[in-house]
A and B are shown apart, each in its own frame.
Chain A
């Protein structure tokens, strides 16, 4: 139960962080560029992690399924966070 709550909070943290970045991007055009660069960096890291999953699994000493779960959860969390801010008033 508590582990599930911790996982749920991980997801919320990712979503809230991406929402916050979106909010920052809405403040100033230069901040928008900065946030875009951050999201691009995140995308590159995620794609690299998908490609180099075996090396990362050995490095972090975690299960392959766990790594995939984390990558998927973080991607969905980011998309949800961005989506919420795009749908706001």
Chain B
């Protein structure tokens, strides 16, 4: 139902209410009957107009809510994109400022490291493989890091432990460090 229809119904109701008492005489039976009929019609018009207006108001509210949600999503997406591009630019700048060592040196270092690791007779101290739940948690941590969350905030978000939370926070911090590989 459009606003035009609602307005028309309202105006019709108003006219049917106000006009007959001043146009028709109450002393003539037919006129009197017409007055009653006009009042009933006016009531029906106003009732329908009210119903339509309420439906339209609800629809408008829903549309406004949808628009707000879309705007919020877009803003969030834009902010994430800006943050990621900024991080990339920062990394690039860091790479320019602190260039990597000569490739030949890097190869030498790698070879030396390989030689050391192969000659080691100690037991393997590499990190144990993570379970699927832990991997999922690690992924969540990485996502939050990309969003710009700090360690404390990530622990609060994923483990529900705030700084100063005592043993719970310490346990969460240890788990965090293990997953991140710090």
Contact = CB atoms under 8 A, between A and B. Distances in A.
Q: A and B, one complex?
A: yes
Interface of A: 1-3, 5-6, 8-10, 12-13, 15-17, 19-20, 23-24, 26-27, 84-85, 87-89
Interface SS, A side: helix
B49 A16 contact: no
Interface stretch (B40-48, B102-110, B142-150, B162-170): B40-48
A12 to B, nearest CB: 4
B50 A9 contact: yes
Given A2-B57, A23-B39, A26-B26, A85 B50 contact: no
B10 A16 contact: no
13 contacts: A3-B57, A5-B7, A6-B54, A9-B53, A15-B17, A16-B46, A19-B17, A19-B39, A20-B40, A23-B32, A24-B36, A89-B21, A89-B24
Select the residue from A2, A17, A19, A24 with max chain B CB neighbours within 10 A. A2
A20 B40 CA distance: 7
A41 B58 CA distance: 34
Interface string B41-70: 011001101100110110010000000000
A87 B170 CA distance: 84
A16 B19 CA distance: 12
Select the residue from B40, B46, B49 with max chain A CB neighbours within 10 A. B46
Nearest to A10: B50
Interface residues of B, number: 29
Interface in B91-145: none
Contact of B50 (A13, A15, A87, A89): A13
Contacts of A27: 32
B158 interface: no
A89 to B, nearest CB: 5
Interface string B1-25: 0010011001001100110011011
Nearest to B31: A89
A9 to B, nearest CB: 4
Contacts of B56: 2
A2 B50 contact: no
Given A12-B46, A16-B39, A2 B21 contact: no
B21 A16 contact: no
A3 B42 CA distance: 20
B172 to A, nearest CB: 42
A24 to B, nearest CB: 8
Contacts of A12: 10, 13-14, 17, 42, 46
